[in-house]
Amino acid sequence: MSAMETQLSPSLMLSTEHPSSHYRIPVLVRSDSGDAFGPADLLDVYHWGLQPAANVVCRLVKNKPDALVEARSFCSQWPDGPQP
């Protein structure tokens, strides 16, 4: 399986190319800072308030159905969290 970057919004992407990604499981990366987040990590984007990254991914993937496989892989790291 090759490295992957999937743009979810202008400022957020799922990536297996970031150093925080292991075993080809993507992390959520902020394009402006390069910060990486796992599904249970809290972040505040788009005035949605502080919430787990998995919530953000589930919300954004509704507009990008082609990113569903990557979103499921990302969220699977937190089995008790939200799943797309």
pLDDT tens digits for range 20-36: 999 999 999 999 999 99
Is the pLDDT assigned to residue 3 strictly greater than 80? Answer: no
Return the closest-CA partner of residue 28 out of 64, 55, 62.
Answer: 55
Exposed/middle/buried for residue 1 (C-beta within 10 Å: 0-12, 13-18, 19+): exposed
Q: Work out the mean pLDDT of the chain and round it to a whole number.
A: 93
